[in-house]
Structure 1
Amino acid sequence: MIDEEISNLTVIDALIRQKRPFVVYRIPGEKLPRLLTQAEEEIRLIYDLQELNGQKGFVIAPFRVSEMCPVVLIQSDGWGQSLSLDDDTEEEYEASLQIQEQENFQTSYTKEYADCFQAFINALRDGTFDKLVLSRRITMDKGADFSLSSVFRAACKRYIHSYIYLCYTPQTGIWLGSTPEIILSGEKDEWNTVALAGTQPLQDGKLPQVWDEKNRKEQDYVTAYIRSRLLSLGIHSTESGPYPAYAGALSHLKTDFHFSLRDNNGLGDLLKVLHPTPAVCGLPKEEAYRFILENEGYDRRYYSGFIGWLDPNGRTDLYVNLRCMHIEDERLTLYAGGGLLASSELNDEWLETEKKLQTMKRLITSTSIIANY
């Protein structure tokens, strides 16, 4: 962990140049992000989520655990040192938000996406699955003026209701994300998870109150799954929802589950049961998981995995890794997905992924505006 006082986020760019493993993250409701660093040789690699039982540290878990994409555990002594977001560009940044609100959607779907959609929808309409999640990725040139610290700062200022993170390890590479979905959080005898599904744009910046049958049904599937998985471990929860919740410029339907645990050292067992939830996979879960691996056409890697601080004896905050991008030397890879039911239509689902991709695109655009302001 870095001991000296840090006044701003420029340390991030220095850590990247040094190829030093780190994570900086901001929990919803907190004003300042926290920074953790660790020596490369001290990072722990895990290949079964149950190995997280009794462990403490920052977890970076993929959609599918493999030799190429292990669970990475940064084991630091605490939540990390707070960093200031203040800098000289804040006023210019706020002005830039007013400039670039117009979205740039690609309204026509690609043949690759259409072919995948058809395979997925056929499996839904013949009754093999109740729900499947189809995701896709796009690549963009990184650009000479791209700054990790500026993009992270922009995410914290724009997406106040989301969990924001930026991490680098030799095993994962560089990832940045803004996600609204908790997979597990809590401490002592108060724990919670959520069912988050269904998507609508905000209406004049406000949460929509009317949701169609497709969105409500999709959310019901996720809620029922989480309820049954908790009960399979003897966990009886109280529920509140569904209700609309913010997710950047979008809204999802959300149900909260609150519960206590007999033994907080078994968090790995609980995570193995919950991950991946139907919000990023499908139902029936195991069959949907295999179908996605065989038919989606690419490896999601750490997209739709989970990320965050794990501590059975303190506070845990773990989030599903949505609305994220992988950052390489010359390019950026952005990810988005959507839940499909038998009633889903190709154009609607393509447009939903386009809107979700805007979460990361806005950050890239706004920081580029600032650099040339």
Structure 2
Amino acid sequence: MESPPRDGQVSAEPTGSALVSRAVELPDCDPRPFLAGRDAPRVYWTSPYGPEFAGGGTAARIAADGADRFETVREAADELFEGLDYDGPEAARPRLFGGFAFHEDHDPAPPWQGFGAAEFVLPRTQLTRANGETWLTVSSLNATPEAVERELAEVREALAESRDRANGPDAGPPGVVSTTSTTTREEWAEQVSAAVSRIEAGDLRKVTLAQALTAELADEVSIPDALARLGESYPDCFRFCFEPTTDGAFFGATPERLATLRGRTVETDALAGSVGRGDTPEEDAELEASIETSEKMAHEHGLVVETIRDQLSPVSGEVRVADRRVRKLATIQHLWTPIEADLTDNGHVLSIVEALHPTPAVGGLPPEAALRTIRETETFDRGWYAAPVGWFDAAGDGTFAVGLRSAVTDGTSATLFAGNGIVADSDPDEEYEEVQLKYRPILDELEDE
């Protein structure tokens, strides 16, 4: 297992400071066998709005913890990219993939071994699918351009030779032998009631409480296959995987974007308030109407919109809030408000991510009181659940999502996470059922039919 670097230090083999990257176009290549053929660390990312990436191996690695972890990662990345020698199209440029733990003092204990408070990897090999094209990028520190180009040719040849035999059938779900929840219905009712009491006393306006569900699997889960199945069921979600070592992988299909930065334009989403899908069009329409007219849902959603606007205002000249609408997914529908802002100066996506995390949708208001309540209430480690996961490049552009509808797995077991926003009129039983609904995207891809 590769040892993680010290805080803010770039780690790579061979060591050095000059990052060399080269890219070549490929015939269309399925990322599933490509990802399956890579060694850890492995990464995967795709969104409804942009490219699809898969990567493996390490050209460089950055880790940090503590209150300054966002700044530490940003400074180390600036140093890494400062001497970048890249030859290839803009779409296939090298990127750092990774994320952050929900809490800044996160301890990477099981099931989160290998996941620090901040971990990012620049893959040795990166597959990019964008605008109908497929590209292979190879990156290395302290290597000559000629050496990187030779390696690029070797990887390209190996992919061509293995393409036909690699495109085998999906391994299928591993099957679930048993599940164990961290929180019984009775314990949940007590937790929600205690949170509501704090809200009524004026200590809180809202807090998001979560649960964890451990699933013992009948067989080892294939992450590439699970991601492919999630893509079929949730094409409108951000799908991601970060596997820092062979000890565990964090993956999911989240509907919530935290931030995208392109130049000076920031895009983000307010996603709060949810209800299930109906079995018939008529029932589905009734559920949609119920969420649109619910005072409780409108209040919860409004808190999130208000806070995101306030968080973006200091760094932007204008914040544009679109009309609220309902976003429908396979098993759930959410109140959703897209938000855009224009930065007054050049920025970095990590600065936006730091300003927004945690949003009220996954933390609460006021933030400090909500985080204190979460720590005092939840009986499990959130790890990277509900935290920023994504990528950024040398210019500081990038996209991060909120790590929801997710699980961390060591292959033969998986720990799933789900939560719900608690406000003054929250009903414990209704909140409990909604949490169980949010397990379904991942649980469905683990269970045998």
TM range (shorter): 0.7 to 0.9
CA distance in 2, matches of 1:43, 1:28: 27
Q: Name the stretch that deviates more: 346-355 or 6-15.
A: 6-15
CA distance in 2, matches of 1:235, 1:171: 45
Do structure 1's residue 10 and structure 2's residue 33 form an aligned pair?
A: yes
The one-letter amino acid of 2:103's match is: R
Do structure 1's residue 35 and structure 2's residue 54 form an aligned pair?
A: yes
Structural mapping, 1:138-217, within 5 Å:
138-144=213-219, 146-170=221-245, 173-203=248-278, 204=280, 208-210=288-290, 211=292, 212-217=294-299
CA distance in 2, matches of 1:267, 1:8: 26
**Match of 2:323, SS?**
strand
Which residue is equivalent to 1:110? Answer: 185
Q: Name the stretch that deviates more: 302-311 or 247-256.
A: 247-256
Do structure 1's residue 331 and structure 2's residue 350 form an aligned pair?
A: no
- Who wins on radius of gyration, i.e. which is larger? 2
**Match of 2:324, SS?**
strand
Change (3 A) 1:209 1:128: same
CA distance in 2, matches of 1:189, 1:125: 41
Do structure 1's residue 26 and structure 2's residue 49 form an aligned pair?
A: no
Which residue is equivalent to 1:45? Answer: 63
- Percent identity of equivalent pairs: 21
CA distance in 2, matches of 1:78, 1:328: 23
Please say if residues 322 and 339 of structure 2, whose CA atoms lie closer than 8 Å, have aligned partners that are also in contact: yes
**Match of 2:322, SS?**
strand
Offset at 1:144? 1.5
Please say if residues 264 and 312 of structure 1, whose CA atoms lie closer than 8 Å, have aligned partners that are also in contact: no
Please say if residues 418 and 435 of structure 2, whose CA atoms lie closer than 8 Å, have aligned partners that are also in contact: yes
Please give the per-residue CA displacement for 1:88-132, whole angstroms capped at 9, x wherever unaligned. 658x98xx9xxxxxxx9x9x9533323322322221222211101
The one-letter amino acid of 1:348's match is: E
**Match of 2:221, SS?**
coil
The one-letter amino acid of 1:135's match is: A
Please say if residues 188 and 428 of structure 2, whose CA atoms lie closer than 8 Å, have aligned partners that are also in contact: no
Do structure 1's residue 277 and structure 2's residue 359 form an aligned pair?
A: yes
Q: Name the stretch that deviates more: 244-253 or 311-320.
A: 311-320
Which residue is equivalent to 1:58? Answer: 97
Offset at 1:172? 8.3
For normalisation by structure 1, the TM-score amounts to: 0.83
The one-letter amino acid of 2:71's match is: Q
CA distance in 1, matches of 2:34, 2:330: 26
Please give the per-residue CA displacement for 1:26-47, whole angstroms capped at 9, x wherever unaligned. 21156x74212232x8311022
**Match of 2:318, SS?**
coil
Gaps of 5+ in 1: 97-103
Which residue is equivalent to 1:228? Answer: 310
Offset at 1:9? 1.3
Gaps of 5+ in 2: 1-20, 78-94, 109-115, 135-162, 174-178
CA distance in 1, matches of 2:64, 2:187: 33
Please say if residues 161 and 248 of structure 1, whose CA atoms lie closer than 8 Å, have aligned partners that are also in contact: no
Count of residue pairs brought into register by the alignment: 349
Offset at 1:190? 2.3
Offset at 1:146? 3.1
Change (3 A) 1:64 1:235: farther
CA distance in 1, matches of 2:213, 2:56: 30
Do structure 1's residue 250 and structure 2's residue 332 form an aligned pair?
A: yes
Please say if residues 135 and 335 of structure 1, whose CA atoms lie closer than 8 Å, have aligned partners that are also in contact: yes
Structural mapping, 1:57-96, within 5 Å:
57-66=96-105, 68=108, 69-76=116-123, 80-82=127-129, 89=169
Which residue is equivalent to 1:101? Answer: none
Please say if residues 162 and 248 of structure 1, whose CA atoms lie closer than 8 Å, have aligned partners that are also in contact: no
The one-letter amino acid of 2:128's match is: Q
Change (3 A) 1:124 1:172: farther
Which residue is equivalent to 2:423? Answer: 341
CA distance in 2, matches of 1:161, 1:177: 13
CA distance in 2, matches of 1:214, 1:79: 45
Segments of 4+ in structure 1 off by > 6 A? 1-5
CA distance in 2, matches of 1:160, 1:363: 14
Offset at 1:246? 2.7
Change (3 A) 1:237 1:357: same
Offset at 1:142? 1.9
Q: CA RMSD in A?
A: 3.2
Change (3 A) 1:347 1:160: same
The one-letter amino acid of 1:223's match is: V
Structural mapping, 1:294-313, within 5 Å:
294-311=376-393, 313=395
Offset at 1:150? 1.8
Offset at 1:197? 0.3
Offset at 1:247? 3.7
For normalisation by structure 2, the TM-score amounts to: 0.70
Offset at 1:139? 0.6
CA distance in 2, matches of 1:254, 1:285: 21
